[in-house]
Every structure is written in C-alpha cells, then in structure tokens.
Structure 1
C-alpha cells in the first residue's frame, strides 16, 4: 500500500441538521449499548433535517477488548459503504455484547480469546470482512483522533452526550429518547 492508498475512516455521522448530538460510546459497555440502540429512533423522532448525530468511540481499558473492537469499527468505516459497515459492526457487538466482554472485567471465557478470534467473531456476526482493513497501520491515526477529541472535551466515561459542543452531564442512556429530543430541540443551531 502506498502513502496515497492510506485507508480513511468515514465519519460515523447520520443526519444533516443544524443541531449536533454527539454520543461517546464504548462498544461493549452495557450503558453505551443501550444508548446506541436508541440512536436510530432518536434520528427518526427529531428528523434528519434537524439534527446531526455523531458517534465518537470512547475506548476504555477496563473493557479488555475495547481497543481491538474500536479498531474493528474504524477499520470497517474505511471499507466501501464504510459508515454503514461500521454501524453493522457496532450492532453486531451490541447484539452479542457478552461474547466480547469479560466477566467482572477480569475473568470468564474471553480469558482464552485472542484478538484474531475477536475479529473473526465480529466478521461472522456483522457480515463485514474487515480483517485486512484492521491491519493497516495508518488506522491508528483515526483511533488517536477519537481519543484526543474525547480528552479535549473532558470526556472520560461512556456514554457521554454533547449537544452543540456542550457536555450534557444530566443525560443518560436510561433516558427516554423524548428527553434527548427535547434537549436537542431546545438547542440553538
């Protein structure tokens, strides 16, 4: 692969409205999964012309395969139909979360799992062939961008929500989407 052939991760962005709703998610966190599973309904509720929903990946070390899974998502985003491929990977991890997590963050069947086995599981569940894209060294730049962006905004946990660039500390994954929609609609573009 030449310098000009570096993979480029497509932004994980849906909608095109003037208000921005950013969600910082760790793919195997149960609370992040709950938030992720509400995003399509939120976008439908508020309207693609009214809001831009952006997923930011928040890798967390206590979720032991977090780094591998975040890299898989971003690798998928470099493929044709990258944004949709990345969404399929996130949905596959969300739908089979326990197969990508450790019991009490430190034990269980995944103690014997290798990163390659995790990639294979994700490919099987998502139907996205991402192993080759996963191996591109330049992908680390996209991973670092997500990490730096979170730190610059004071984000340390997942899920965390931002509306128009401001952290919404009182929003949570347990909120009904009407609560999120109300906050978004109250924001000025």
Structure 2
C-alpha cells in the first residue's frame, strides 16, 4: 500500500522501494498496540536494519478507536508533529506509547479537549528536544479550534489536522481494519501475528517470507 508524501513520517524504517512492506494499524491508547510497538520499534526494527537492510519497509497507520476519546486527540497530536517535522513522528509516537496511561479514559475524563492538547504538546517539547522547529505554539496552532458564541457561528470544520485524520480513518474502513493492532505483510492481513510475540518469533516470521 502506498504512502502519500505528506505522511512520510509514518514510514518508520526502510524505503519505498523495499522488497517487502510491513504495516501496523495502531492506536496510541490501546495497550496491545503499545506492546507490539515496543517490541517492533526497539528490537525488530534494529534487527531488520542490521541483518536485512533494504528488504523491509515498516509503515505505521493511525487506527482510531473512538470509544476512547483520547484516541482521536493523541493521533491528532502525532499528525501535527509530523506536519511540522516528519522525522520526529516515530519518536513522538514512541513517547505516546510510553506515556499512554496518561491518556486513558479514567485519567482524562475531567479534562477539556484544549487541556489535553496542551498536555500532548508539552510531551512533544519534552521528548523532541533535538527538533528546534517543533514548538508548543506551533503544535497548538495546528490543533486549535476557535470557540464561537452562537450556533449560527459554528461550522464544525475541525482543526488543521482534521483532514489528515480523516485519511487514516477512511483508509482503515476501506481496507476492513477493525481492531488495533492489525498487521499486514505485503498488503495482506496477518492474523497469525500476536502483540505478545518475542523477537525470535518475529525473526522466524520474517525469515520465511524474505
């Protein structure tokens, strides 16, 4: 599956002309998504880059699970980071997964949308210190929704990353992705893959397909 150029940060490893493609549909507030991310990002990815360079590209797709409101807001924040600096998308995604409990329903239930945006922007600033282009002001500007006083003034047009969010929601629906995490190898869903796989299990899976 191709990756539009504006979402280049979602290719977290490899190049577009790699022989094979491994895709992950992940939700930042899904514990199982965090589990598979941690294994793949910290162990599988370095192994692939060292032992099989140029063979596999890894692509992440945002899979929004709307029964958790923060699923939308965390994805928006990641898309805002990518819009400013695509090279920081993977590292910010890693920070979101590492801190995902801070966005669980029971923690954010009394926080406003704007308050959560500020928390997410602060996480980016504390995590992405090497990127001078990412500032709290720039992120909040992309996430900002201007409040209005009357119903007649309301347009429901979202913020500057709403259309990016729509792309991934439409993509998941089109491809019949219903759960997170969902993993595809060369465009086909691999239901055999578990979020609990060890590095050795990942190695066995990949080696039989290269």
Normalised by the length of structure 2, the TM-score is 0.75
Query: Cα distance, 1:185 vs. partner?
Result: 3.2
Which residue in the other structure is 2:149 paired with? none
Alignment of 1:97-176 (within 5 A): 97-102=100-105, 108-127=106-125, 128=134, 129=136, 130-135=139-144, 137-176=159-198
> Which ranges of structure 1 fall in alignment gaps of 5 or more residues?
1-7, 103-107
- Out of 24, 42, 45, the position equivalent to 1:43 is 45
Count of residues in Structure 1 that have an aligned counterpart in Structure 2: 174
Q: Secondary structure at the match of 1:56?
A: strand
Q: Which has the larger radius of gyration?
A: 2
1:172 offset after TM fit, Å?
Answer: 1.4
Q: For residues 118-170 of structure 1, what are the alpha-carbon distances to aligned partners after superposition, in whole Å with 9 as ceiling and x for unaligned?
A: 12222222315321222484522221221122122211110010000010011
Where 2:8 maps in the other structure, the secondary structure is coil
Q: How far apart are 1:73 and its partner, in Å?
A: 0.8
Distance 1:54 1:132 in 2: 27
1:71 is aligned, of 64, 68, 76, to 76
Distance 1:37 1:156 in 2: 21
- Residue 57 of structure 2 is aligned with which of 52, 60, 65? 52
Q: 1:10 to 1:78 in 2, by over 3 A?
A: farther
Kindly indicate which of the two structures has a greater share of residues assigned to helix: 2
Long gaps (5+) in structure 2: 1-5, 126-133, 145-157
